[in-house]
Amino acid sequence: MAERDGLATTAGKTKHDGPVIEVTQDYNTFTAVAGPSGSNDHEGDFVTENEDRDLSRGLEQRHISLIAIAGAIGTGLFLGLGSSIQTAGPLGALLGYATVGLIVCAVQFALGEVTAFLPVTGSFVRHAEFLVDPAMGFAIGWNIVYGNWLSIPAEISAICVLFQYWTDVNSSVWIVLVIAMTFCVGIAFVRVYGEVEFWFALLKIVFIIFLIILGLVINLGGIPGVPRLGFHYWKSPGPFVEYIGTGSWGQFLGYWACMSSAVFSFAGTESVAMAAAETRNPRQVIPRACKRVFFRVALFYILSVLVVGMLVSSQDPRLDDQSGTAAQSPFVIAASEAGIKAIPSIVNAIVITSAWSSSNQALLAGTRVLYALALKKQAPQVLLRTTPWGVPYVCVMVQTTFMFLAFMSLSQSALTVFWWFVDLTACGVLISWISILINHQRLILAFKKQSIPLSSLPWHNAWTVFSTPVALFMCIIILFTAGFSNFTRGNWSTSGFISSYLDIPLVLTAFVLWKIFKKTSFVKLDEIPLKEALEEIERKPEESEPPKKGWAKWIGILWD
């Protein structure tokens, strides 16, 4: 059951001009109903009584930090960098990933500031209800849920393809095995999930560091018989690649196409706050994780893009390998050229663990958002049932049911349709980032409207006042131009257009329908109960974590 730092059983109501505030004195429990007295229109909260009573705070600083890293370092890094180099060239790809890295920085800091203020299960889905409109929380929440319903079987299907690199064992064996393993991790103590992701993340970090160092050794001629390359491929065929157009315009389009794909490589960092109500000291832990995870992930990606651009030519035909296995990895291509035969199998093994790690993360995000929707009565109440050890088992079972869609991979025609549907969820990443930035912008505006200094926030950085609107503008531009190639002469693709843009009307439709049927309205800035929330934070301060000493201090540099 959930941990308690003493439980007071008294409850009372505080009246003030406008909103009606109900304070229930559980651990970090605060329910705010903003709107006309007696209205349940704009309901948003800190940790609710259900979360406090039924969920277990089993995640620690090291778990939270590496969960985000585990989600962001995956197939996009190990296998996908080659296509970015091919599309934009070494410098174009580097600039694209650097640009998106800055956007991710703004998103992470915005998420950290709002989560430190509202550390709830469901993260930015619940924040949207508190700060914007219940209909926005409903639309974003169900968008994430259905996206995860499809992404987990997609990861399982990818694992089947990866195993075919070694063996011809029937794919159904791997599907059943992975579903069983994923379910066991999802239904176990949340700490079990945290430990699994922690060790997988460490494995990936160590391996990507190894690949970066190996790439530099190969590039600088450290392997006997392999000539020094340096920046040879930056000179020939050149730092940029023309994409669709010609000249400078074509080079810019290559950069922009690469930037659009880079967004999805960084996907996963936003899930760091999904289980805030299951995290110890979330107001300290999650902002710290948001800040430090960004720098680690950005560092790995930027260095990887730089090294890959030095190792492989943008015109190398092996980058077109469609096997979905380690054969298309630029690291494998470079290692094969250097005569290092073990690297392909090692990369394939790491990508398998990455795919499974991603499915575990999608299970956590999907189930916690589903649980959060049920808390707000935007999903069936049966989803609120939890195990004695604090896991929403009905949500896990629902999510597990959709994993069996992976059996569609046994039919080639069905697999084509299945992956087409999976592509529909791709822009959901940008929609999630946009909602995080909107939530943060609304919080900043509400503080200014109510004349409360931003320094009152549990965690705040002065530059986020400027970075959030800029990043929001960039995310919207990328969202609406992600499928720009479909509008160029001779490149129209109906499936490409639909997969790039269908998620936008789906989210807008869900938003409008919930507003119509529930008659919700936007939360007014002066009615968001900020003062009461800040008072509750002062009443229930988190204990400071003791400083680490000895070996724990040095090894903890990876996540602290």
Q: Where are the domains of the chain?
A: 11-550
Do 381 and 392 meet the contact criterion of CB atoms below 8 Å apart?
A: no
Look at residue 535 in the predicted model and tell me its pLDDT. 84
Look at residue 187 in the predicted model and tell me its pLDDT. 92
Look at residue 33 in the predicted model and tell me its pLDDT. 39
Do 27 and 254 meet the contact criterion of CB atoms below 8 Å apart?
A: no
Say which residues have a Cβ less than 8 Å from residue 216's Cβ, sequence separation at least 6.
222, 307
Taking the CA atoms of the chain, what radius of gyration do you get in angstroms? 24
Cα separation of 252 and 240, whole Å?
9
Q: Which CATH superfamily is domain 11-550 in?
A: Amino acid/polyamine transporter I (1.20.1740.10)
First-residue to last-residue Cα distance in the chain: 27
Helix (H) or strand (E) holding 88: helix 81-117
Look at residue 28 in the predicted model and tell me its pLDDT. 38
Look at residue 63 in the predicted model and tell me its pLDDT. 77
Burial class (CB in 10 A: 0-12, 13-18, 19+), 79: buried
Look at residue 322 in the predicted model and tell me its pLDDT. 63
Q: What does the pLDDT profile of the chain (560 residues) look like in tens digits? A: 333 333 333 333 333 333 333 333 333 333 443 333 333 343 445 566 666 666 677 777 777 777 767 666 766 777 778 888 999 999 999 999 999 989 989 999 999 999 988 888 788 988 998 899 999 999 999 998 988 888 888 888 878 878 887 888 888 899 999 999 999 999 988 888 888 888 888 888 888 888 889 989 998 888 888 888 888 899 989 999 999 988 999 999 999 998 877 887 787 777 777 766 667 788 888 888 787 777 777 778 889 899 999 989 998 888 876 666 667 788 888 888 888 888 888 888 888 888 888 888 888 888 988 998 998 889 999 999 988 888 899 999 999 999 998 888 777 666 666 666 666 666 888 999 999 999 999 999 999 999 999 999 998 999 999 999 999 999 999 999 988 888 888 888 887 788 788 889 999 999 999 999 999 989 999 989 888 888 878 877 776 666 666 666 666 665 55
Q: Tokens 């190639």: give the residue.
A: 485
Cα separation of 405 and 396, whole Å?
15
Sheet with 20-24, strands from edge to edge, namely 11-15, 20-24, 31-34, 42-45
Q: How distant, in Å, are the alpha carbons of 135, 179, 371, 513 from that of 377?
A: 12, 29, 10, 15
Q: Which two tokens stand for residue 346?
A: 């090692």
Look at residue 197 in the predicted model and tell me its pLDDT. 84
The length of the chain in residues reads 560
Cα separation of 216 and 307, whole Å?
7
Look at residue 415 in the predicted model and tell me its pLDDT. 60
Report the predicted TM-score, pTM, of the whole model to 2 decimal places: 0.85
